[in-house]
């Protein structure tokens, strides 16, 4: 269950003044493979998500009573757990890209000002 509906997320993103953001779609575009494994004799389901650059994250799910185990639910929850670990990684990546972009623009501005000052 999501605290904010997908429609509300889209509405908020449309109103955002910045293009520097992480979206579910931007993460999904980088996913190369999603693999599931169930630990033998348990209700534990593991999910391994591998990105296009080879980096991978894992998520897991389990249920208390083996009688309640459902493979689809286990995989869904394990994937959600793994996917949740990607948000901060992509957040860092976008923040770093923005920092480098802003720093390059600042450096170019300083260089341009120096050229003007020196009459170049």
Here the tokens at position 31 are 């996913």
Task: List, for residues 52-71, the tens digit of each pLDDT value.
Answer: 999 999 999 999 999 999 99
Cα–Cα distance for residue pair 15/27, rounded to 1 Å? 21
The better pLDDT of the pair 21, 64 is held by 64
Q: pTM for the full model?
A: 0.75
Is the pLDDT confidence value at 74 over 60?
A: yes
pLDDT band, residue 8 (cuts 50/70/90) = low
Q: In the prediction, which pLDDT does 111 show?
A: 57
4: in domain: no
Q: What is the CATH number of the domain that holds 80?
A: 3.30.160
H runs (alpha helix) in 1-120: 6-15, 24-28, 71-84, 86-118
Mean pLDDT, residues 94-119: 75
1: in domain: no
65: in domain: yes
Q: In the prediction, which pLDDT does 44 show?
A: 98
Q: Which residues pair with 50 in a beta bridge?
A: 33, 56
User: Mean of the per-residue pLDDT values for the chain?
Assistant: 86
Nearest to 18 by CA among 106, 104, 108, 98: 98
109: in domain: yes
Sheet holding 45-51, edge to edge: 31-38, 45-51, 56-61
Tally of structural domains, the chain:
1
Phi then psi dihedrals of residue 89, to 5 deg: -65, -45
């Amino acid at each position: 269950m999501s605290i904010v509906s997908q429609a509300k997320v889209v509405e908020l993103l449309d109103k955002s003044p910045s293009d520097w953001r992480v979206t579910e779609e931007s993460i999904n575009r980088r996913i190369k493979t999603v693999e599931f494994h169930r630990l033998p004799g348990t209700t534990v389901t593991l999910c391994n998500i591998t990105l296009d650059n080879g980096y991978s994250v894992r998520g897991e799910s389990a249920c208390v009573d083996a009688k309640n185990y459902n493979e689809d639910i286990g995989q869904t929850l394990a994937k959600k757990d793994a996917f949740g670990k990607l948000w901060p990684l992509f957040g860092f990546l976008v923040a770093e890209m923005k920092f480098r972009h802003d720093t390059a623009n600042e450096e170019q501005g300083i260089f341009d000002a120096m050229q003007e000052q020196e009459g170049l």
